[in-house]
Structure 1
Amino acid sequence: MPSKTLLTVTGPDQGDDDLKLATGLCEEINAHLSVLVLVIAAPPSGGAYAEVVSPAWLAERQAEMEMLQKRISAVSKMLSASPVSTDLSDDYPDHAWADEVIGRRARYADLTVLGPDLLTSQTLKEKVIEGALFSSGRPLLLVPKGPTVTLKPKRVLVAWDASLEASRALRESLNILSGADEVRVAMVNPIEDERHHGAEPGADVASYLSRHGVKVAVDRLPSSNHSIADVLRRHAVDTGAELMVMGAYGHSRLRERIFGGVTRSMIEDPGLPIIMAR
């Protein structure tokens, strides 16, 4: 199913580049743009009841709400000149609930777009990623600074590990994959058994994609003592991929934060636009 609504999130410290990027993607695929302006509320200092006695905290919250209104006004002005249909919403959640707020909003979009500006905002970036991936049931598009992004790519790399998360990402991207000239399914150190990739790794996923009209090729890659994320990034460069599709957080978030993982590595250094889903 083609995407008809894209969501992007912006905060008080972001410029308009991410909004322009999302607008351009909506123009490209004739989609609606939904914008969420978000300021995460400062927690009270000095304990759970500090808000009762802390004028400084109250003043900080007042300043944040003023920043929110200022950003809403600026975004509204920009959207009024947009060539695509738009809607604008805002929220001022506490830190603990920000990802839930974003996730609820993302449920009414086909894809959440996280652009280069937001990738530099550590707290808001994490909340958008967690909200989109864990609270929306919708995919996320990461767009790093530098590479050109398109939702009509000619060459796509699918990172395939036969997991539920990779399967979800694949299905969410079928419309994009079927329109590409070349889709390469990459597997790093694939395991040949029924619990993993089957007797012939890549054969089942290639057959599935072919039935959807996807022009697919399968690449079985050795890690050669490199991380899986590094192998995928290198292969994306070698094949000229404009977009990567992958499942996210096959392991728990806690495990990835402590020990590292493919998802965490790709978030920190995408290298190219990536659609993630879980």
Structure 2
Amino acid sequence: MPFKTLLTVTGADQGDDDLKLAAGLCEEINAHLSALVLVIAAPPAGGAYAEVVSPAWLAEREVEMEMLQKRTSAVSKMLSAIPVSTDLSSDYPEQSWADDVIGRRARYADLTIVGPEVLASQMLKEKIVAGALFSSGRPVLLVPKGARATLKPKHVLVAWDASLEAARAVRESLDILSRADEVRVVMVDPIEDERHHGDEPGADVATYLSRHGAKVTVERLPSSNHSIGEVLRQHAVDTSAELMVMGAYGHSRLRERIFGGVTRSMIENPGLPIIMAR
């Protein structure tokens, strides 16, 4: 299914680069741009000194709301000058439910764009990625600094581990994959059994993609004492991939936070544009 609505989220401290990136992607595929301006509310004061600092906290919230209004006005002006259809909303959620607010908004878009400015903002990045992946059922596109973003790539790498999440990412990206000149289905240390990759790892997903017109090559790579994330990033460089498609959070977020994981590694250091879904 082609992407017809792209969502971008911006905060009070961000500039317009991520907005321009999302607008460019919309123009490339003739899509609608939905923009959300978000300021996450400062947490309330607590402890024995709550009564003393409470007025300062209330004053801080007033400043934040003014920042939200000012940023929303600036974004509205910027959007009025771009050559694609747009809509604009704003919100001022508490930190604990900011990802839910983002997720509800992302349900009405096909793809949420996370550009370099947001990737540099730890809290906003985590809230947007978590909200889009866990509260919307929609994929995200991570675009790191210096990367060329396109939704019409010629060379695509699919990180395949036969999981439900990877299958969802492939399904969400079918329009892109079917139009690419080259799709490399890459597996790192694949397990050959019926509960994992089957007797011939990659054969089933390659057949599925081929029926949709994708030009598929299957590659099985050894990790050789490197992390899966490192292997995928290096192979993307070696094969001149313009986009990676992968499933996200095959393990719980808590497990990934404590022990690390491929998803967390890729969010922290994408290396190239990555579409993630779960």
Q: Which residue does the alignment assign to 2:184? A: 184
1:14 aligned counterpart, secondary structure: coil
Question: In the alignment, is the contact (CA less than 8 A) between 1:44 and 1:51 conserved in 2?
Answer: no
* 1:92-136 deviation line (CA, Å, top 9, x unaligned): 000000000000000000000000000011111100000000000
Q: Is the 2:45–2:53 Cα contact (8 Å) retained in structure 1?
A: no
Cα distance in 2 for residues equivalent to 1:52 and 1:72:
32
After the TM superposition, which residues 154-165 of structure 1 pair with which residues of structure 2 at under 5 Å, given as runs? 154-165=154-165
Partner of residue 246, structure 2: 246
Residue pair 1:156, 1:183 contacting (<8 A) in 2 also: yes
Equivalences for 1:60-99 in 2 at 5 Å? Answer: 60-99=60-99
Q: Which residue of 2 aligns with 1:202?
A: 202
Aligned to 2:271: 271
Amino acid of the structure 1 residue aligned with 2:245:
V
Q: Provide the residue aligned with 2:259 in structure 1.
A: 259
Normalised by the length of structure 2, the TM-score is 0.98
- Deviation by residue 1:9-68 (Cα, 9 ceiling, x = unmatched): 000000000000000000000000000000000011124994897110110000000000
Matches within 5 A, 1:83-162: 83-162=83-162
| CA RMSD after TM alignment | 1.3
Query: In 2 relative to 1, CA 233–53 (structure 1 residues): closer, same or farther, beyond 3 Å?
Result: closer
State the alpha-carbon separation in 1 of the partners of residues 275 and 266 from structure 2: 11
- Partner SS state of residue 145, structure 2: coil
* Offset at residue 261 of structure 1 (A): 0.3
The residue identity in structure 2 corresponding to 1:246 is M
Paired residues, what number?
278
Q: Report the residue type matching 2:138 in the other structure.
A: R
Compared CA separation, residues 195 and 257, structure 1 to 2 (3 A): same
Are the aligned partners of 1:34 and 1:86 in contact in 2 as well (CA < 8 Å)?
A: yes
CA contact (8 A) 2:104 2:136 kept: yes
Measured in 2, the distance between the counterparts of 1:209 and 1:80 equals 39
Q: Distance in 1 between matches of 2:48 and 2:24?
A: 44
